[in-house]
Structure 1
Amino acid sequence: MQRGPGTRLEQSQRLQLSAGLASSIRILRHDANGLNRYLEEQAAENPHLLLVPVEPAPGEWTPRWTSAFRALQSDLSETDRIAAGAPGLHAHAMGQMRRLLPAGRAQAIGMVFVEALEPSGWLGPDFAAIAREAGATEAEARAVLTRLQQAEPTGLFAGSLAECLRLQAQEAGRLDPLMSCVLDHLDLLAAGEVERLARMCKTPVAAVMTALRVIRGFDPKPGARFGQGAAPLREPDLLVSKDAAGGWQVALNRSALPDVAIRGEGIGAARQEGSPGLLAAAREVQRQVASRNRTLLAVARAVLAHQAAMLDHGMAALRPLRMADVAVGLGLHPGTVSRAVAGVSFDSPRGTIWLRALFGGRGGAEGRKSALLPEPLIDPITDRALPLAGGADLSAAALRARIAALIAAEDPATPLGDDRLAALLSADGVAIARRTVAKYRDQQGIPPAYRRRRRDPPAGD
């Protein structure tokens, strides 16, 4: 029996993003650099969209610069000298030292300079004290240091902030008499006393402002990029600093992102420029950027409020935190939190750090199943979570920081082996196997104990 044409009703559901929602999601995923490029493209196509660069005042510096300037007046604390990221820096500096110096006495002297490096990448003790410890004459030590200051990144092995910036200015071909004069008076530069600095350097204020913009592009702490969770050197998205009450405050880095303004708000102006739809599109971009900034600030403040101990004591104090926890607290979807922190960095007195690096898993089956846990701490052999005493769990980043801190404080003549590190961590409440210590030590580029052992330099002639 043949069937003729008929009509059939079916019901289906499909989720489709509107153009505006898709654009909002795309903007949320951008860091400051990516968002700058996107806005420049939009402004090139839309005459109503106006990007207004935000120039920081001469006396405004990011927190890492502020702490670098503070070192001009006072010595670094012992906490800063033994930082969690020091072994990563030292492992890199050892490789650079072997590349730049011939084997034998020169490397033995160079080893003392490597051990004198602070987390900033500068030398801690003064030059004469290092030369005495190395058993070398000052001329011999100076020759070794000159070679070491050719290491990458430029600025390592500098004796001070001024010398660090001078090395970078020389590499950039900007070490002219004006730059030398400005670097000789860093205290005035830090205070933003541009007019006084211009009088001392006998140059117009505009020339000093040009030099200031060049210096802002330098790295005041080249060693900080080897710390836990350190982000590459670029304009950070957020600024984290202490407020008057001693707490931590989070703000957008306005110099990294232009203000979005609307050109031609009036009806006549819209007609003059062309399609009125372009004006509505410009307003929509402005609204989306403002929404992105509000979401990013809310997420960052929630994360850093939870991880305030890390800002005070370093990555070893990192607490377990899931993106789902932040999402619930803010009433957001976990995917929104994930997109908001993607590629975002914040500048703090401890350096420029990825915001995503502050998330670490809790142990257990639920944590291992979640795609929102970027790095749960799991034993690589037993596949079991590594708990802290008292039932709390430790994130992988915090464990690496603890291992690095123990190695930074070890006696160079008798470095700590993986067995000893495991025992010390276990005594501190972390149940961990030697093989797990070896795994996280290797991830930081820290060589085994036999390669870290310092040998006494040979006696002088």
Structure 2
Amino acid sequence: MKSRSRISVQQTQRLTLTTGLATSIRILRADAEGLTQYLEEQAAENPQLVLGKQTPGEWLPRWRDAMLRGIGGGGGEQPEVEAAGPSLIAHVSDAIGTLRLGPREARIADALIEALEPTGWLGRPLPAIAAQAGASVPDTEAVLVRIQAHVEPSGLFARSLADCLRLQAAEAEVLDAGLDAVLARLDLVAAGDLARVARETGLTEAEVRRKIAVIRGFDPKPGARFEACAAPVREPDLMARKGDAGWEISLNRSALPSLSLADTKGKGRAEARALIRLVEGRNATLLTVGREILMRQAAALESGTGALVPMTMAEVAEALGLHQSTISRIVAGTAVDTPKGTWWLRALFSQSVTRGGPSAAALRDRLTRLVADEPADAPLSDDALAAALSAEGSPVARRTVAKYRGMLGLHPAHRRKRKPEVRH
């Protein structure tokens, strides 16, 4: 039998990703840092695209609370802060456990851990910690220095903001006399009085600004990164501040360079104009989505992540008339600076564990606090934790508790057991 060639007509559909669409998606998904890098690359190739300088203040938004908490460490009343979460405590406890401290040093270490705040700083003066441990101040300081050198990230167990930054500068091998002198004058830096800083340190104002640029690369609250929703140290894309009329959500204009067209016309002008429109559209969409998310989570802005309510991307997309994929892309790597810390936008989405129940994020926060408050010598089992949550109106299975405990980096009960504190 002879084979015959045959011509057939077939209709198919295929989605082709054009260059313009690919660029639009890339810009929509980019965080401030990634977008800045992309724009710098485009400006280097296209002389018609002009990038203006970023104009941040002397301190990034994430520094404001740290500055208010007491610059020199010492005097003044400290605002009340919530108890340190066990994820941070578990981390430092494990790290200190590898030091093989003697009984006396272990008591001092336990007192230092107890004094640790969510920021990663010590919340009590060293003499008070020494008295609690029944040790001398020099012995307590010796253990503290050893812990500071061993526990990561650098800056934990600092006695003040300046101490926290000094520890990080020393680890980065950039701590010199000039930087140390600027760190000793953080109150003047925060006030923007760089001329006085220059006079008192013997540096030029340009040198002072360079030192400040180095300082801004450090983390003022290294303990905050252990919170469930915490974003890493970086420029936040959005800022949430409470004003007279309520919560105000705004773009962090210092996170991106300004864009404009070159004064002289030339090749690439249309492409530059299109790119500027894409960035402006991205910023407008981010602000719209960010406001919708944060207005739905206003309770969390007031009280912390334990007050997160159930919320899905589909609900936000429907409310704004956008596609769910747009919401997913815009929140992919963006962060918001709040009075409670810098949070990932994506982390604020959480479904309820049971119909009409709290969000999974709120349940994890409550689980964290239950473990934080448990007796050191009698930690709660997963069954006991499930029973406690159920008694509070959040019915949850033991296996769910075990899953969330693992997500939070919390050890099983037998590994959380510690000797009760010895008081003198």
Q: TM-score, normalised by structure 2?
A: 0.90
Trace 1:359-374 onto structure 2 (pairs within 5 A): 359-362=349-352
- Give the match for residue 295 of structure 1: 285
Give yes or no for contact 2:56–2:255 (8 Å, CA) kept in 1: no
What is the rounded CA distance, in whole Å, between the counterparts of 2:10 and 2:136 in structure 1? Answer: 90
What is the rounded CA distance, in whole Å, between the counterparts of 2:290 and 2:403 in structure 1? Answer: 30
What is the rounded CA distance, in whole Å, between the counterparts of 2:9 and 2:415 in structure 1? Answer: 75
Return closer, same or farther for 1:400/1:453 CA change in 2, 3 Å cut-off: same
- Give the match for residue 113 of structure 1: 112
Give yes or no for contact 2:28–2:282 (8 Å, CA) kept in 1: yes
Say which SS state the counterpart of residue 336 (structure 2) adopts. strand
Please report how far the alpha carbon of residue 13 of structure 1 lies from its aligned counterpart in structure 2 after TM superposition. Answer: 4.8
Give the letter aligned to residue 64 of structure 2: T
What is the rounded CA distance, in whole Å, between the counterparts of 2:413 and 2:135 in structure 1? Answer: 26
Q: For residues 107-159 of structure 1, what are the alpha-carbon distances to aligned partners after superposition, in whole Å with 9 as ceiling and x for unaligned?
A: 33212211221000011121111112212222221111011111110100111
Give the letter aligned to residue 159 of structure 1: R
Trace 1:119-198 onto structure 2 (pairs within 5 A): 119-150=118-149, 151-198=151-198
Return closer, same or farther for 1:19/1:125 CA change in 2, 3 Å cut-off: same
Please report how far the alpha carbon of residue 343 of structure 1 lies from its aligned counterpart in structure 2 after TM superposition. Answer: 1.3
Give the letter aligned to residue 372 of structure 2: A
Residue 418 of structure 1 is aligned with which of 358, 382, 385? 382
Mark the runs of 5 or more structure 1 residues left unpaired by the alignment: 271-275, 363-385
Please report how far the alpha carbon of residue 457 of structure 1 lies from its aligned counterpart in structure 2 after TM superposition. Answer: 6.2
Give the letter aligned to residue 252 of structure 2: N
Is 1:74 aligned to 2:77, yes or no?
yes
- Give the match for residue 251 of structure 1: 250
Return closer, same or farther for 1:158/1:7 CA change in 2, 3 Å cut-off: closer
Residue 63 of structure 2 is aligned with which of 49, 52, 65? 65
Return closer, same or farther for 1:457/1:318 CA change in 2, 3 Å cut-off: closer
What is the rounded CA distance, in whole Å, between the counterparts of 1:449 and 1:10 in structure 2? Answer: 64
Return closer, same or farther for 1:101/1:235 CA change in 2, 3 Å cut-off: farther
Q: For residues 34-58 of structure 1, what are the alpha-carbon distances to aligned partners after superposition, in whole Å with 9 as ceiling and x for unaligned?
A: 2122222222221211222213132
Return closer, same or farther for 1:119/1:261 CA change in 2, 3 Å cut-off: same
What is the rounded CA distance, in whole Å, between the counterparts of 2:415 and 2:171 in structure 1? Answer: 32
- Give the match for residue 342 of structure 1: 332
Return closer, same or farther for 1:420/1:22 CA change in 2, 3 Å cut-off: same
Say which SS state the counterpart of residue 302 (structure 1) adopts. helix
What is the rounded CA distance, in whole Å, between the counterparts of 2:240 and 2:411 in structure 1? Answer: 33
Give the letter aligned to residue 81 of structure 1: E
Give the letter aligned to residue 82 of structure 2: R
What is the rounded CA distance, in whole Å, between the counterparts of 1:184 and 1:281 in structure 2? Answer: 48
What is the rounded CA distance, in whole Å, between the counterparts of 2:278 and 2:165 in structure 1? Answer: 39
What is the rounded CA distance, in whole Å, between the counterparts of 2:9 and 2:420 in structure 1? Answer: 87
What is the rounded CA distance, in whole Å, between the counterparts of 2:381 and 2:122 in structure 1? Answer: 26
Say which SS state the counterpart of residue 38 (structure 2) adopts. helix
Residue 447 of structure 1 is aligned with which of 401, 411, 414? 411
Mark the runs of 5 or more structure 2 residues left unpaired by the alignment: 71-75
> RMSD of aligned C-alpha atoms?
2.5
Say which SS state the counterpart of residue 55 (structure 1) adopts. coil
What is the rounded CA distance, in whole Å, between the counterparts of 2:388 and 2:78 in structure 1? Answer: 30
Is 1:32 aligned to 2:35, yes or no?
no
Say which SS state the counterpart of residue 364 (structure 2) adopts. helix
Give yes or no for contact 1:194–1:205 (8 Å, CA) kept in 2: yes
What is the rounded CA distance, in whole Å, between the counterparts of 1:288 and 1:238 in structure 2? Answer: 18
- Give the match for residue 354 of structure 1: 344
- Give the match for residue 286 of structure 1: 276
Q: For residues 264-310 of structure 1, what are the alpha-carbon distances to aligned partners after superposition, in whole Å with 9 as ceiling and x for unaligned?
A: 4x5xx32xxxxx3x110111111111111111111111101111111
Please report how far the alpha carbon of residue 5 of structure 1 lies from its aligned counterpart in structure 2 after TM superposition. Answer: 11
Say which SS state the counterpart of residue 376 (structure 2) adopts. coil
Please report how far the alpha carbon of residue 181 of structure 1 lies from its aligned counterpart in structure 2 after TM superposition. Answer: 2.3
Say which SS state the counterpart of residue 154 (structure 1) adopts. coil
Return closer, same or farther for 1:263/1:455 CA change in 2, 3 Å cut-off: same
* Identical columns (%): 50
Give yes or no for contact 2:27–2:35 (8 Å, CA) kept in 1: yes
The worse-fitting range, judged by mean Cα deviation, of 295-304 and 438-447 is: 438-447
- Give the match for residue 88 of structure 2: 89
- Give the match for residue 305 of structure 2: 315
Please report how far the alpha carbon of residue 12 of structure 1 lies from its aligned counterpart in structure 2 after TM superposition. Answer: 5.5
Give yes or no for contact 1:116–1:123 (8 Å, CA) kept in 2: yes
Please report how far the alpha carbon of residue 354 of structure 1 lies from its aligned counterpart in structure 2 after TM superposition. Answer: 1.2
Please report how far the alpha carbon of residue 440 of structure 1 lies from its aligned counterpart in structure 2 after TM superposition. Answer: 1.2
What is the rounded CA distance, in whole Å, between the counterparts of 1:159 and 1:445 in structure 2? Answer: 26
Give the letter aligned to residue 257 of structure 2: P
Give the letter aligned to residue 402 of structure 1: R
Give yes or no for contact 1:108–1:456 (8 Å, CA) kept in 2: no
